[in-house]
A and B are shown apart, each in its own frame.
Chain A
Amino acid sequence: MNRGAALAEVRDLRVRFVGREETIHAVNGVSFAVPSGKVLCILGESGSGKSVTLRALMRLLPPRSSRIEGSIRIGGEDVLAMPLRALRDLRGGLVAMVFQEPMTALDPVYTIGRQIIETVRKHTGCDRHSARARALELLELVRIPSAAQRLEAYPHELSGGLRQRAMIAMALSCRPRLLLADEPTTALDATVQVQILILLRNLQRELGMGMIFVTHDLGVAAESADTVAVMYAGRIVESGPVERVMRAPAHPYTAGLLASTVHGQPRDRDINAIPGSPPDLRRLMPGCSFAPRCSRRQPSCTTNLPEPRFPKPGHMAACFAVPSAPVV
């Protein structure tokens, strides 16, 4: 493997869901790279294509109805060209995923311990005894109290926070180099959410993993990201270092999202809401998908797709209204 390459590199990813009556253009040309040891947050509202992008990385989309184009390379390997057998080793080995709903992602009829042991044995081929030791070690790693006892627990016997910890333990069981997290704290209560966020951040740092974190919550992104990619209608409209994107958003959509998120606005004034609603992904219009809702719309916005512009090195916004920094 090329040592200088990014851990995960996605180029011009497109995903369509083809049905008998209609085609949904969920992801429309997404490119990004995640180096080892860094956290990329994909931020977007429902229908923006953020979860579809994440699932495409592990090829978890339904093979019959989805069409994936572009290139996905993880650890130097071409994921889209991979035969199924190799894909099985990739999933849970090199790349692992933490889902939003631990209750539906864990198998309700097996104990937590058995599910982790099965994963460890499948991937490493070790014996039952050492797999059990590894499972115990994992539950301790994610700070589950009285871990030995919890190995024998069924998912329904655990609280929401403990279930999510168990799922993280399972995802980490084969020492993945890239951890994908799909809204891992959305289903949790506020006091539990912050515990899981801090746990994920610490584990990612200690284990030196790359992480892609999908969320709709600006606060969660601010708590966990190194870089942020903001998605709208299946495209990345802005990306850059988290401080930059949150403090000086360049794209009107990102700015609108920040302004419309309630966080300490004066109580006697309306919130600056973005008018309208997201576009219909069955009928993709030419030009910028955000144009119909945009306050800085120009005539060219509805005809041409804005190319990426770079107001600062490393900070990209796909918008005609953004001036590009002079090339040095």
Chain B
Amino acid sequence: MDPLAPAPRDRGGPGGPLLIACDLKKHFPVRSSGGKSVQAVDGISFSVREGETLGIVGESGCGKSTLARLLLHLIVPDAGELVFDGTTVRDDITVGALRRQVQIVFQDSYSSLNPRMPIRDTVAFGPFVQGKPKGEARRIARDTLARVGLDPDLFGPRYPHELSGGQKQRVNIARALATGPRMVILDEPVSALDKSIEAQVLNLLRALKRQLNLTYVFISHDLNVVRYLSDRVLVMYLGRVVELGRVEAIYTRPAHPYTRALLASQPSMNPVRRIEEPPITGDPPNPIAPPAGCRFHTRCPFAEPVCMTVDPPLPPWLGPQSHIAACHLSDRLPRRISHE
């Protein structure tokens, strides 16, 4: 397919963002805390261009999985707007119509498959409920299984418990692709896999993106994997975006102190050059009561008085070469020593 020709389903116009998330918010009330809530996603805005891979990184509890579910309306946001391909979700298109075009692959490959259904039925289920006749849905399932590297005659009749972790994750990818989506949200798709299997699945994801002109949102806590796969990277901390930029900019010139700490905390893979001092101390704070001001100030080695009181805004995204960070000090931080 000619990558420059507009996709037949492209309504937002070529070059327009495929997905725009605008000020998404989701707070989960905590019953025993007297009206407090976990601020899982607290005002997140970004856009995903057609054909790119947007990586989302952050530690556990930063809200990255909640964000993944918000993008599909698997969790309904408290506030904010989702615009898919120029149409506002729920105003202009239904959630069902959104899910025809956006699919998700979860981390736990076993619990996201129906244990009582052979995998060919699991994969055929999506196209079937979307109105394809049974025979057609089965044919799609066979093709999709073959595409993800599973022989449909050999694996089609099997149940999830008869498959290895890597094979189950291939089924999940097939299930997501069977409805012919344009965008796939990958929520830690390789985190539960062994390294030798992880590499196979990453190669598969790359090949599928090329063959099917897909757009990926790739969520992971593994910075190395995100660097390998993403075009742009979004860094989250306690429900907020702290930095967003092109992958090489983020990894070679990180602007936010948290991104720097995250990169410097990566084991070196070099036994001769070990990390001698932890880049930052302590654990991420409780998202029920995030710190006032900048949420990172309690662990930030550069924090100044202003950081404790004023919440630094994320500057607007100005175009493909933009690199933005929500930090009061980002333009006067000491020059970074390369971590490589």
State the A residues within 8 Å of B (CB): 45-46, 159-162, 189-195, 197-198, 216-220, 222-223, 225, 242-243, 246, 256-257, 260-265, 267, 270-275, 277-278
Contact = CB atoms under 8 A, between A and B. Distances in A.
B60 to A, nearest CB: 6
Contacts of A272: 199
A264 B275 contact: no
Contacts of B265: 190-191, 193-194
Given A195-B278, A277-B197, A219 B283 contact: no
Given A263-B224, A271-B202, A277-B166, A194 B279 contact: yes
Given A159-B283, A216-B194, A260-B198, A222 B203 contact: no
9 contacts: A159-B283, A190-B265, A191-B279, A193-B265, A195-B281, A217-B267, A222-B267, A246-B271, A271-B228
A189 B200 contact: no
Contacts of A159: 283-284
Contact of B199 (A46, A223, A242, A274): A274
Contact of B271 (A45, A225, A278): A225
Interface of B: 59-60, 164, 166-167, 194-200, 202-203, 206, 221-225, 227-229, 247, 261-262, 265-272, 274-284, 299, 340
Contacts of B203: 270-271, 273
A199 B41 CA distance: 33
Given A46-B194, A261-B195, A277-B196, 20 more contacts: A160-B283, A190-B266, A191-B261, A191-B262, A191-B280, A194-B265, A194-B267, A195-B281, A198-B276, A198-B277, A222-B269, A243-B271, A243-B272, A261-B224, A262-B228, A271-B199, A271-B203, A274-B200, A275-B200, A277-B166
A246 B271 CA distance: 8
A257 B195 contact: yes
Contacts of A277: 164, 166-167, 196-197
Contacts of B261: 191
A262 B200 CA distance: 11
A257 B59 contact: no
Contacts of A223: 267-268, 271, 274-275
Contacts of B227: 262, 264, 267
Nearest to B190: A262
Contacts of B59: 189-192
A45 B266 contact: no
Nearest to A195: B278
Which of B261, B265, B268 has the most chain A CB atoms inside 10 A of its CB?
Answer: B265
Contacts of A246: 269-271
Which of A160, A194, A262, A271 has the most chain B CB atoms inside 10 A of its CB?
Answer: A262
Contacts of B167: 277
Contacts, number: 128
Nearest to A224: B274
A22 to B, nearest CB: 15
A190 to B, nearest CB: 5
A263 B278 contact: no
Contacts of A218: 195, 267, 269
Contacts of B272: 243
B223 A264 contact: no
B269 A262 contact: no
Nearest to A260: B199
Contacts of B280: 191
A262 B198 CA distance: 9
Which of B247, B267, B274 has the most chain A CB atoms inside 10 A of its CB?
Answer: B267
A65 to B, nearest CB: 21
A243 B270 CA distance: 8
B282 A190 contact: no
A218 B167 CA distance: 24
A66 B227 CA distance: 43
A189 B284 contact: yes
B267 A220 contact: yes
Contacts of B196: 45, 256-257, 260, 273-274, 277
A261 B198 CA distance: 8
Contacts of B166: 277
A234 B271 CA distance: 25
A297 to B, nearest CB: 16
Contacts of A162: 283
Contacts of B268: 219, 222-223
A216 B261 CA distance: 23
B275 A273 contact: no
Nearest to B270: A222
Contact of A190 (B221, B276, B340): B221
A278 B166 CA distance: 11
Contacts of B283: 159-162, 189, 192
Nearest to A185: B267
A256 B278 CA distance: 30
B232 to A, nearest CB: 13
B262 to A, nearest CB: 6
Contacts of B195: 45, 216, 218, 257, 260-261
Contacts of A274: 196, 199-200
Nearest to A293: B196
Contacts of B276: 198
Contacts of B270: 222, 246
A292 to B, nearest CB: 13
Contacts of A264: 224, 227, 340
A25 B194 CA distance: 20
A52 B80 CA distance: 50
